[in-house]
Structure 1
Amino acid sequence: MYPVSITSPRLSLREFDNSDVDAVLAIYGDQAVAEYMSFEPRTRDQVAATIEHVMAAAQAPERLEYSLAGVLPDGELVAFLRLAVDVGHPLQSSGQIGFAFRADQWGHGLGGEGIQLLLRLGFEQLGLYRIWGARAPGNDRSARVMARQGMVEEGTIRGHLKLAGGWRDSVVHSILAPEWDPGQD
């Protein structure tokens, strides 16, 4: 499915293009944002490589990765949102979401709208049954926004990610298609 374009009242998801590098750098290059990510702050070259990768993945014949730009109504890019379809057993129907918003957008409710857009993509357009996300144990803001969208905390994956500071756990949240309320915000 390409191109993807999904809209809510205050946020839209669209495909990335090469002009988005600096806007994504404002997200991925920020230490405050990267504190809870699975990687250290990114350089401009690393962000440019990421954009190239997601643009190529969007064109895959059997698309499994939906990395999308979160933009405000005026077109300003403020978030990087992702839904990756889990690969494995042929009957598996699940996907993992991830989201990162520019720090000056935190606390304005856009995270919930972004998650709802990813859930719409996964449940309505891709026909997934289970959607899950993982967060850093100390990321209480992410825990609250996922819970408000109906995602249930399942547990902790111990020693899940190796970062510069050592191994980090991840806390998993999920929602099933029958639990999802498309009107939730």
Structure 2
Amino acid sequence: MAVIETSRLRLRPIAQADAVDLFQVLRDADVVRYLRYQQATDLAAIQQEITEHFGRDTSTVFGIELKSSNRLVVFFEFHPNGNSGILTYALAQADWGKGIVPEAGQALVRYGFETLNFQRLEAHYAAINHKSARVMAKLGMIDRGKIQDFRSQTGEIISVKAYDLTKEQWQAEQLSALG
């Protein structure tokens, strides 16, 4: 069970005690608009999701809490795919624009390469979600362009773009930052 700390955040496993906070994040249609997770309809569904998914793999799924309030504001996870990990996250709308995802993301990029020994990290985002693109760039990821289209629940066609970063690129950037 990994726990990672940054100056403002604690990255830790998600537990049933987080159900209310996670429900608050996932019930927001704007937060989940482009995620595989559907808008939460009730607390019982979130409790089941914690049992079946979020709380099951404590090495690749993290709740992110603010140290100042012990409030869960986001989840961040790796979807392992061979020697790669695909990143997914969701952040409470009230906390958008505060640098929380890049701060957590930097710690998890390091964890993904050093602890999980991924050779490549990847992240996908809806092309119209420019904020996610900026987060990925802040993590040192490289824009790889459009990978597919999908139809949203409202029938809208959404283009999906990808960013990625190899362990070798990340290590070179770490060495460059030291010199």
The TM-score range, normalised by the shorter chain, is 0.7 to 0.9
Amino acid at match of 2:11: L
Distance in 2 between residues matched to 1:147 and 1:55, nearest whole Å: 26
How many residues matched?
171
Give 1:56 shift.
5.6
Instruction: List per-residue Cα deviations over 1:86-144 (Å, max 9, x = no partner).
Output: 1xxxxx41111111111111111111012112212210101111000101111100100
Amino acid at match of 2:67: P
Match of 1:77 in 2: 72
1:108 aligns with 2:98: yes
Helix, strand or coil at the partner of 1:57: coil
Give 1:163 shift.
3.4
Structure 1 runs (4+) deviating above 6 angstroms are none
Task: For 1:26-41, list aligned pairs within 5 A.
Answer: 26-41=24-39
Give 1:168 shift.
3.2
Give 1:162 shift.
4.6
Distance in 1 between residues matched to 2:45 and 2:152, nearest whole Å: 16
1:163 aligns with 2:152: yes
Distance in 1 between residues matched to 2:54 and 2:3, nearest whole Å: 14
TM-score for the superposition, normalised by structure 1: 0.84
Structure 2, gaps ≥5 residues long: none
Structure 1, gaps ≥5 residues long: 87-91
Amino acid at match of 2:36: S
Match of 1:143 in 2: 133
Distance in 2 between residues matched to 1:84 and 1:36, nearest whole Å: 16
Contact 2:50 2:56 survives alignment (8 Å)? no
Q: Percent identity?
A: 26
TM-score for the superposition, normalised by structure 2: 0.86
| Cα RMSD for the two superposed structures | 2.0
